[in-house]
Structure 1
Amino acid sequence: MGITYDEARIRNLKFKIVNALVNDSRVSLDESFNNEKLVKIFYFKQRDIEQFKTNLFNEDGQILDEVKRSIEEIVQMNMRVREEVDYGEECEKLKVGYLALKNHYDSFESNQEFIEQQLDNLSTVASNLHYYILPIYDERFICNSDILPEDDLSDYYYHFHSIEDLYRCIFETDKSLSWKSTGGDLNLGYKLNFKVYTSRWGHYDNYTFSREHYGWKIGAFGKDAKCDKNGEVLKEVGKQYVTEHTGLHYFLNHDSVQYPRNGVEYALEMLWNDADSKEMEVEELQSKLSDVAAWISEVEKATHQYQPSWCNYY
């Protein structure tokens, strides 16, 4: 069945708590944590609090017993490897092995025996380093691995890209995720412009977007619509929806805009995820959102411009 985003995110939230415990002796698993503390101490995102708090904490803000036991086991593993593992030596092994594998792939060679030999060695090294540095990984990468790292470290790290993630955590920190990052909270709630050309009116109309913890809030025609990451209607539990009257598609269709709907939905979801997973500045988010609007506008123009003169369908 693989690993869902939610499972991967909950895993990362546990590791945020573990990192806080390891790095600050004042933090105790026995205390109660309100939302402010979840952000200040564990660097939870607003989305984490909205969606995953109940997976980790009870109504009083205390860590659930099962979660507490799991976190304590990880902390104990961290203490053990720090006593038993020579960090510098293992890092050097990782560096040598990773670069050997990378050079092998970059040269387009396919010596399966060599690859397996390197992965055999590296998966052991990675297992030693894993509990030493307590890494946070992109949820999408964990999902692609089809296994949570702690379920079977040897299996998880028996892949080049998993080894590469660990390598970056140690040697290329600018390309890795910090446990202290609140990622996309940096760009939540800002009103952004989304200017789309409409042949129907012969000018650009400006829709508004803001990235929210649930997806996008899109504004047009004097009203706002809660939308999913891909710009379509947000389906909330217990509510009824008339999908053709909500979301970006409804707004564009209202103005008879012709555009690549599937591609735009994919782009909006990809952009939302990208803005959520790293500390993307609002200016960069606006720029990339404008790229999508420009794409729609150019397709709209071309659709009308290049249709046969005798057709006049659009």
Structure 2
Amino acid sequence: MAMKNPDSVSFNEAHIRNLKIQIIKLASQRGEDINSVINNLYSENEIHDKFYFRKNDIHEYKANFFESHGTEYHFRNLMTERLKEYSGKHKEAKENYSDARSRFLDQSKALFRRMEENPWNFDNDDFERTKNDLKDDLSILHWGSLPIYKEKYMEERGALPEKDVVAYYDDIYTFKDLVKWIEEEATWKPSFKGDCNLDQDMNFSVYSRRWGHRDSYRIKRTISGWDIRAIAINGSSAKDGTGMIMENLDHDNIFYPKQSIKDAFTYLWEMADEREMTVEELAAKLQNIADWISAIEKVFGECKPDWL
């Protein structure tokens, strides 16, 4: 990925951008007029159901989009302006989208074939020529397809696409992202993703040398991390397990590689949040971490010098 732009973009900014795009895409798919969408009042449940704001989205980002009106919410003025602008550009781009799409895919695929044929001598001039040939199509393709990219991709790029569409794709990696999106856009569907595995009780069984057997904790994934219930210590933890999970392990003198386990908890939390992972799959992966800790704890005890 290219070096990060001085105008850096945070995960939150990228996610808010994706939520805006999602609202436009959903309205377009349903054939709804954007003015009727933005002028309505919505309950919190309607925000969740209509716009596919997940529980964490409502908790973290509701105020970026809505102002309260009694027990209901309406879009903020600045947000209505942005949504109307995006919707207008989307409608305009759709008029020439089909021709631009065919031309773009043909030329980009030809470029990629040339790159595959000569992988050790990438010709940046070839990319520049192709990109310049397609420059007028980039805005049409972007606004016509309304791509939703992973937040970390936009963080790495250091920019949001809508700030300068042509400049955003002035990079082989973001250019490839657009090609992939356009190829797969028909399969896009809104999703509540990890909401299906939030606040579900799961077992976390860890061996302890102190007690000579496994102890079973109860853990839930929450919108901000994890919640653990145990005999000794109960409460919340961050996504990486910092807090009550680590305190329980430390309380029982369980030996574990702290940073690696923190990385594992973080990676699992993000994986469970990003897709519709079933509770059964999440529970199994959570127990994988517990089994890993247990194996290290046993080996540590077996290999520890008997004079210590």
TM range, normalised to the smaller chain? 0.7 to 0.9
Please point out which of 157, 169, 179 is paired with 2:169: 157
* 3-state secondary structure, aligned to 1:41: helix
Asked if 1 retains the 8 angstrom alpha-carbon contact of 2:127 and 2:172, the reply is no
Asked if 1 retains the 8 angstrom alpha-carbon contact of 2:232 and 2:248, the reply is no
Asked if 1 retains the 8 angstrom alpha-carbon contact of 2:97 and 2:140, the reply is no
Distance 1:99 1:285, change over 3 A: farther
Q: Give the aligned partner of residue 79 of structure 1.
A: 91
Partners in 1 of 2:127 and 2:16 — Cα distance? 32
Give matches, 1:13-24, under 5 Å. 13-24=19-30
Tell me, yes or no, if structure 1 residue 11 matches structure 2 residue 17. Answer: yes
Note the C-alpha offset of 1:208. 1.9
Note the C-alpha offset of 1:156. 2.1
Asked if 1 retains the 8 angstrom alpha-carbon contact of 2:233 and 2:247, the reply is no
Quick one: which amino acid aligns to residue 196 of structure 1? V
TM-score, structure 1 normalization: 0.85
Distance 1:173 1:300, change over 3 A: farther
Note the C-alpha offset of 1:103. 6.6
Q: Give the aligned partner of residue 3 of structure 2.
A: none
Q: Give the aligned partner of residue 279 of structure 1.
A: 276
Partners in 2 of 1:102 and 1:44 — Cα distance? 39
Give matches, 1:149-298, under 5 Å. 149-172=161-184, 178=188, 180-221=190-231, 224-233=234-243, 247-298=244-295
Q: Give the aligned partner of residue 244 of structure 1.
A: none
Root-mean-square deviation (CA, aligned residues, Å) is 2.4
Partners in 2 of 1:65 and 1:169 — Cα distance? 30
Note the C-alpha offset of 1:198. 1.0
Partners in 2 of 1:57 and 1:145 — Cα distance? 28
Q: Deviations over 1:72-115 (max 9, x none)?
A: 000000011112x2425424523641573377269344333334
Distance 1:11 1:286, change over 3 A: same
Partners in 2 of 1:202 and 1:293 — Cα distance? 15
Partners in 2 of 1:282 and 1:95 — Cα distance? 42
Count of paired positions: 295
Percent same amino acid at aligned positions?
29
Quick one: which amino acid aligns to residue 84 of structure 2? E
Asked if 2 retains the 8 angstrom alpha-carbon contact of 1:190 and 1:282, the reply is yes
Quick one: which amino acid aligns to residue 10 of structure 2? T
Asked if 2 retains the 8 angstrom alpha-carbon contact of 1:127 and 1:153, the reply is yes
Asked if 2 retains the 8 angstrom alpha-carbon contact of 1:98 and 1:164, the reply is no
* Unmatched 5+ stretches in structure 2: 1-6
Bigger shift: residues 292-301 or 63-72 = 292-301
Partners in 2 of 1:92 and 1:287 — Cα distance? 46
Partners in 2 of 1:45 and 1:23 — Cα distance? 19
Distance 1:298 1:108, change over 3 A: farther
Partners in 2 of 1:102 and 1:225 — Cα distance? 54
Q: Deviations over 1:22-70 (max 9, x none)?
A: 2232652101111111122111101111111011100121100001000
Give matches, 1:106-185, under 5 Å. 107-121=119-133, 125-172=137-184, 178=188, 180-185=190-195
Distance 1:206 1:36, change over 3 A: same
Please point out which of 24, 41, 44 is paired with 2:50: 41
Partners in 1 of 2:11 and 2:53 — Cα distance? 16
* 3-state secondary structure, aligned to 2:283: helix
* 3-state secondary structure, aligned to 1:305: helix
Distance 1:194 1:122, change over 3 A: farther
Q: Give the aligned partner of residue 8 of structure 2.
A: 2
Asked if 2 retains the 8 angstrom alpha-carbon contact of 1:94 and 1:126, the reply is no
Q: Give the aligned partner of residue 65 of structure 1.
A: 77
Distance 1:114 1:307, change over 3 A: farther
Distance 1:86 1:284, change over 3 A: same
